[in-house]
Amino acid sequence: MRDRIAIWGAGGFGRYAYDQLKKRKDIDIRCFLDKDPGCQDKKIDGIEIYAPEQLRSGGEIIVDYVLISFLEGISIYNQLSEFKGVKFGIIKNRVFLDKLELKNDLMEDTNIFWVADGNKPLARTIETHVIDCCNLNCKGCSHFSNLYHADDMIHFDTYCRDLEQLCQNVNIFQFNMLGGEALLNERITDYLDFTRRVLPYADIHLITNGLLLPVQKEDFFISCIENNIIIEISEYPPTLKIEGRIISVLEQHGITYKIRKDINKFMKNMNLSGKADKYEAMRNCLQDGCNLLRDGKLYKCPFEALGNRFFEHFQLDIRLQGGVDIYDKELDWKRLIDVYENEPVDACRYCVKGEWFPWENSNTPTADEWIVSNGR
């Protein structure tokens, strides 16, 4: 039986998807959908263009799947539950930017984010630590990695339990695994395998400074390939010195990778008074949207999740009370995701417009690496 498909958008996206799929014998392209009244009731290659409303329950169009662009899919995500019995495939931007071919089995194509349950809220990005310590110990690290030690591990069972709980309640578009330095976790392949198992359609990024990539064992690269992991390299000055070796190893193994270029300066933005304007702090924040999963809670940012490590280490009489218990049976998930993506939290009171400083190591950190001038 042929899959009955509608393509959302009669413009550049729709035509690009159509050109890839029109010759497929296993697909029946029933129609195009477009919100623009000027496009409706017209045809492309004899295929009708309808208003999306005609796809809703009780409408006249019967399809199994709808393919939609990333921007359009995100903008109408909250309406997807109105389309009963239809599975939406949000095609990721890189398909168009890099002119990628869709796979023969669309359901197995990791360039498509399939939404089976539009009743779950969509989190654009969630990240989590797989280890807290690091091999660089950057001055003023926003994750406070140089305040942690090798025995400060993220236990695998806790990681699995928390991620599974989150996935039962939220659709996650991109999931970042980081630290610390993620490759210091000796069980990293177990974490990669499990993450892909519970997030079959998400973009999974492993964020690393890259220094340990040339010495990884073969099973690590096999796991990255099998689980379609995107390795994201933070290009710090020490990374730059061996970047040629790093890229060579990745390309030799056929690994998809991205490079965050020229990370040669850091910012400190902490003010201990706690009197900052929370909304202004969020507008200026470089980590807004970095929602972090940790120890059964979801946090708006690394500072809300990890800031108490800083206060405890330097014996400061401040404690953050943030984070939301993901096991709370009364939790309003849609409201939570909306708040974390669009509103400040109490921890924002300690963040002000930052001060840049050159990157350097800090093996014996001081509090002033994070606190702005006159911020005490």
Encoded amino acid at 33, one letter:
L
In the block, residue with structure tokens 């177990």: 190
E strands, 136-228, where? 171-178, 203-208
Residue 133's Cβ-side half-sphere holds a number of Cα atoms within 13 Å equal to 11
Task: Read off the pLDDT band of 58 (50, 70, 90).
Answer: low
Residue 354, SS3 per DSSP: strand
Secondary structure tally for the chain: helices H, strands E: 11, 17
State the pairing for strand pair 87-91/112-115: antiparallel
Q: Which residues pair with 265 in a beta bridge?
A: 358
Task: Read off the pLDDT band of 61 (50, 70, 90).
Answer: low
| Each residue's pLDDT tens digit, 22-54 | 888 889 999 999 888 988 889 999 999 998 888
Which position has the higher pLDDT, 344 or 72?
A: 344
Measure CA of the first residue to CA of the last residue in the chain; give whole Å: 69
Those residues with Cβ within 8 angstroms of residue 21's Cβ, 6 or more apart along the chain or in another chain: 5, 7, 27, 29, 102
Could you tell me the residue ranges of all domains in the chain? 3-115, 122-369
The answer to whether residues 130 and 185 touch, using CB atoms and an 8 Å cutoff, is yes
Residue 78 pLDDT exceeds 80: no
Model pLDDT, residue 328: 96
- The CATH superfamily of 3-115 is NAD(P)-binding Rossmann-like Domain (3.40.50.720)
| Each residue's pLDDT tens digit, 150-191 | 877 789 999 999 999 999 999 999 999 999 999 999 999 999
CA distance 73 to 60: 22
Per-residue burial over 212-245, b = 16 or more CB atoms within 10 Å of its CB, e = otherwise: bbeebeeebbebbeebebbbbbbbbebbbeeeee
| Each residue's pLDDT tens digit, 9-23 | 888 888 988 998 888
Encoded amino acid at 324, one letter:
V
Which position has the higher pLDDT, 106 or 253?
A: 253
Average pLDDT over residues 85-114: 86
Q: What is the second-level CATH architecture of the domain 122-369?
A: Alpha-Beta Barrel (3.20)
> How many whole angstroms from its chain centre is CA 297?
17
DSSP code at position 35: S
Average pLDDT over residues 79-87: 76
> How many whole angstroms from its chain centre is CA 42?
38
312: enclosing H helix or E strand: helix 302-313
CA distance 205 to 290: 13
